């Protein structure tokens, strides 16, 4: 898998489209293979990104892959200033805050994410981390989710 990831990243070097690379960034994160996605690739991707939030998301991905928790927190802060309802970013910032020893900040971010991002792929991981950081505390989904009609 590591070799396939290296090939895909190499092929996308000249066309850094985060939508096509997103699954591979997830694979790199799981494999802890952040070294396969170079800083140069991220620099080029950021240059071609049209929005401030998009650039922040790319920098957050880079920081997460490199386990640069301060940069991850700061990138998430920038994204959330632009788009405060991008609830999955709260999970990334919670991870960074947790790694930096900011337990209260991590709990706050997890509360927001768990209330609003019920279908997020990291929901169960976020829930487990929240239980670890806030034993006995429960989270209720945001009211707007409770009022939504059920899917058939």
Residues 47-91: pLDDT tens digits? 888 899 999 999 999 999 899 999 999 999 999 999 999 999 999
pTM attached to this predicted model = 0.79
Distance CA 19, CA 17 (A): 5
Tell me if 58 sits within 8 A of 18, measured CB to CB.
Answer: yes
CATH architecture observed for domain 69-139: Alpha Horseshoe (1.25)
* Domain boundaries, given as residue ranges, for the chain: 1-48, 69-139
Tokens 């090939």 label which residue?
A: 7
Tell me if 78 sits within 8 A of 52, measured CB to CB.
Answer: yes
Tell me if 37 sits within 8 A of 9, measured CB to CB.
Answer: yes
């Amino acid at each position: 898998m590591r070799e396939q990831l290296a090939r895909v990243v190499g092929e996308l070097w000249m066309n850094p489209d985060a939508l096509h690379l997103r699954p591979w960034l997830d694979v790199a994160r799981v494999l802890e293979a952040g070294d396969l996605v170079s800083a140069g690739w991220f620099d080029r991707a950021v240059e071609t990104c049209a929005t401030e939030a998009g650039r922040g998301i790319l920098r957050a991905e880079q920081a997460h892959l490199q386990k640069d928790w301060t940069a991850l927190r700061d990138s998430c802060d920038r994204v959330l200033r632009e788009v405060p309802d991008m609830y999955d970013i709260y999970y990334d910032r919670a991870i960074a805050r947790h790694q930096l020893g900011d337990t209260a900040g991590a709990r706050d971010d997890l509360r927001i994410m768990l209330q609003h991002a019920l279908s997020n792929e990291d929901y169960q991981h976020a829930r487990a981390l929240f239980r670890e950081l806030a034993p006995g505390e429960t989270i209720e989904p945001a009211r707007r989710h409770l009022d939504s009609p059920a899917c058939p």
